[in-house]
């Protein structure tokens, strides 16, 4: 399958992502939550844009991902969809809109697809949400799984520490990955687990495995945009590589602007009509 946008740019699809895994090309994925940032990251050539429920943290300032609503996720996703020409767009189904009720899960997934125009949804969990995953997939909606440190379960874990270090949890994670693959998920995100376990998962399942804090032996990597750009400075886990200091650059620009306004330096004659 090949899908072309109006500008005749070859879009990334689930099929393209599978081909990338099969030939050993790593998949790049970043979050975006608004039009302007999504436009920049898409033009840079990212393969997958994730409209993550981390919007709850970095856009809305909540401590966890739990408070963000389906309506708010659709708002963010719609803005991203308007900007993106090439990347594959995945949207997180938020906490409380799919767990424990497969009819509601299907309704939520369909609302995201219909109202935002995104290409796929992401769910957190394995065996316990199998019924919801199957139901969503049966409607033709591509599903990305998410295992390991699943932030929607943070109050069950009690801590953001590395998951699946113990054998029992590692075994369950591997089983969950196989279940998600058997259901028909097109990819799985693994968050904050030992690199050796992530490698085993990526070798066991045939679908792409994208890691965040899961080492380099997986099929791709994902980071939260605000963290890798250094907009958020208070969150610095070991797995995060900070590619810029946008907080520093922005603070310098803002303070210079304030100074210029106070000093009557801005606007000057050429900046006036
Ligand atoms: O919401 C999010 O940003 C995510 C990534 C951390 C994978 O789920």
Ranges of the chain with pLDDT below 70: 1-7
* Whole-structure pTM value: 0.96
- CB 187 less than 6 A from any atom of ligand 1: no
- CB 189 less than 6 A from any atom of ligand 1: yes
In this prediction, residue 228 carries a pLDDT of 98
Residue whose CA lies nearest to ligand 1 atom number 1: 52
Residue pair 266/260 in contact (Cβ under 8 Å)? The answer is: yes
H/E/C letters for each residue in the chain? CCCECCCCCECCCHHHHHHHHHHCCCEEEEECCCHHHHHHHHHHCCCEEEECCCHHHHCCCCCCCCCCCHHHHHHHHHHHHHHCCCCEEEEECCCCCCCCCHHHHHHHHHHHHHHHCCCEEECCCCHHHHHHHHHHHHCCCCEEEEEECCHHHHHHHCCCCCCCCCHHHHHHHHHHHHHHHHHCCCEEEEECCCHHHHHHHHHHCCCCEEEECCCCCCCEEEECHHHHCCCCCCCCCCCCCCCCCHHHHHHHHHHHHHHHHHCCCCCCHHHCC
Residue whose CA lies nearest to ligand 1 atom number 8: 52
In this prediction, residue 4 carries a pLDDT of 52
Closest atom of ligand 1 to CA, residue 54: 1
In this prediction, residue 162 carries a pLDDT of 98
- CB 212 less than 6 A from any atom of ligand 1: yes
Measure 45 CA to ligand 1 centroid, in angstroms.
19
In this prediction, residue 8 carries a pLDDT of 75
In this prediction, residue 6 carries a pLDDT of 53
Q: Which of 67, 212, 220, 226 to mutate to test the pocket of ligand 1 (most atoms within 8 A of CB)?
A: 212
- CB 31 less than 6 A from any atom of ligand 1: yes
- Catalytic positions are 191
The separation between CA 40 and the C-alpha centre of its own chain, rounded to angstroms, equals 16
In this prediction, residue 3 carries a pLDDT of 56
- CB 222 less than 6 A from any atom of ligand 1: yes
Structural domains of the chain ordered from first start: 6-242 (3.20.20.60), 245-273 (no CATH)
Closest atom of ligand 1 to CA, residue 151: 8
């Amino acid at each position: 399958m090949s899908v072309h946008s109006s500008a005749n740019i070859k879009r990334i699809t689930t099929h393209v992502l599978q081909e990338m895994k099969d030939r050993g090309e790593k998949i790049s994925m970043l979050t975006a939550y608004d039009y302007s940032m999504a436009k920049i990251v898409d033009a840079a050539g990212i393969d997958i844009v994730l409209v993550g429920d981390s919007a709850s943290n970095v856009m809305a300032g909540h401590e966890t991902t739990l408070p963000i609503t389906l309506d708010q996720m659709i708002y963010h996703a719609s803005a991203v969809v308007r900007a993106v020409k090439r990347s594959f767009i995945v949207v997180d189904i938020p906490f409380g809109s799919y767990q424990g009720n497969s009819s509601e899960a299907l309704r939520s997934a369909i609302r995201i697809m219909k109202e935002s125009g995104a290409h796929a949804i992401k769910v957190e969990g394995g065996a316990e949400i199998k019924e919801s995953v199957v139901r969503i997939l049966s409607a033709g909606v591509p599903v990305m799984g998410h295992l390991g440190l699943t932030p929607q379960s943070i109050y069950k874990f009690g801590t953001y520490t590395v998951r699946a270090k113990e054998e029992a949890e590692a075994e369950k994670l591997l089983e969950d990955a196989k279940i998600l693959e058997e259901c028909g998920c097109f990819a799985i995100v693994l968050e904050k687990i030992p690199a050796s376990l992530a490698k085993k998962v990526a070798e066991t399942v045939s679908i792409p495995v994208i890691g965040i804090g899961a080492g380099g032996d997986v099929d791709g990597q994902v980071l939260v945009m605000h963290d890798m750009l250094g907009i958020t400075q208070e969150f610095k886990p070991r797995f995060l590589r900070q590619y810029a200091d946008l907080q520093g650059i922005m603070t310098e620009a803002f303070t210079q602007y304030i100074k210029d306004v106070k000093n009557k330096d801005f606007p000057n004659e050429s900046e006036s009509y």
